[in-house]
């Protein structure tokens, strides 16, 4: 099994703040085409896994993602916290750059929140019954893709200025925009699901 995405430098839960009234600036409402993300996912990711039983045998080739000082994981009912190497590195980079921008502007440190990662075909089919936006050919099946909330963030210290979720949503948008320009990822802004759908290009 590859090394888990862990951090020994952070111990604690932090406090999560959320609100659906967040407005993301138009330049961060990314619309990278899903067909493009699928082409990259098939090129660099794993083959889709049929169900959780099969997943338990095959996820040993992937990185088990856990809470770190940069990212907190939501309970995942329709996905599993596993990613391929490129997506694992991308997730950590996003979290680090997000916190760096917060510190540079004098704000309190918060973690990003991941809401979805690897899905089996069965997970996708179950999700499609409750979420009309879920795609049958989901990029989440290739372990290259994860979702980050833009309406919720997890505060891990109280040093610095208070910051609201709308400011943080747009700071996260800045980070993703920089990485897109560097051809590190593709992003789709999912308004109904209150998340950025992010896929590693490497």
Percentage of the chain lying above the pLDDT 90 cut? 75
Mean per-residue pLDDT, 158-181: 97
The pLDDT, as a whole number, for residue 13 is 75
Confidence (pLDDT) at 12: 60
Radius of gyration, alpha carbons of the chain: 16
Q: What is the pLDDT of residue 21?
A: 85
Alpha-carbon distance 176 to 31, whole Å?
Answer: 12
SS3 content of the chain, % helix, strand, coil (to 5): 35, 25, 40
First to last CA, the chain: 20
Q: Does residue 171 register a pLDDT over 70?
A: yes
pTM for this structure? 0.90
Quote the crossing angle between the two packed helices 85-104 and 165-181, to the nearest 10°.
130
- Average pLDDT over the chain reads 90
């Amino acid at each position: 099994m590859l090394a888990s995405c862990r951090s020994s430098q952070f111990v604690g839960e932090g406090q999560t703040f959320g609100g659906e009234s967040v407005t993301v600036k138009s330049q961060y409402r990314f619309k990278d085409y899903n067909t493009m993300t699928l082409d990259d996912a098939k090129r660099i990711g794993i083959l889709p896994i049929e169900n959780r039983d099969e997943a338990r045998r095959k996820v040993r080739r992937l990185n088990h993602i856990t809470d770190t000082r940069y990212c907190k994981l939501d309970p995942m009912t329709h996905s599993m916290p596993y990613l391929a190497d490129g997506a694992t590195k991308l997730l950590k980079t996003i979290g680090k750059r997000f916190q760096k921008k917060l510190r540079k502007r004098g704000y309190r440190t918060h973690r990003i929140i991941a809401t979805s990662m690897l899905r089996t075909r069965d997970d996708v089919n179950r999700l499609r019954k409750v979420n009309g936006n879920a795609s049958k050919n989901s990029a989440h099946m290739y372990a290259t893709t994860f979702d980050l909330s833009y309406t919720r963030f997890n505060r891990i210290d109280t040093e610095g200025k208070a910051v609201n979720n709308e400011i943080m949503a747009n700071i996260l948008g800045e980070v993703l925009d920089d990485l897109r320009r560097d051809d590190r990822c593709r992003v789709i802004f999912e308004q109904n699901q209150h998340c950025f759908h992010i896929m590693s290009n490497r």
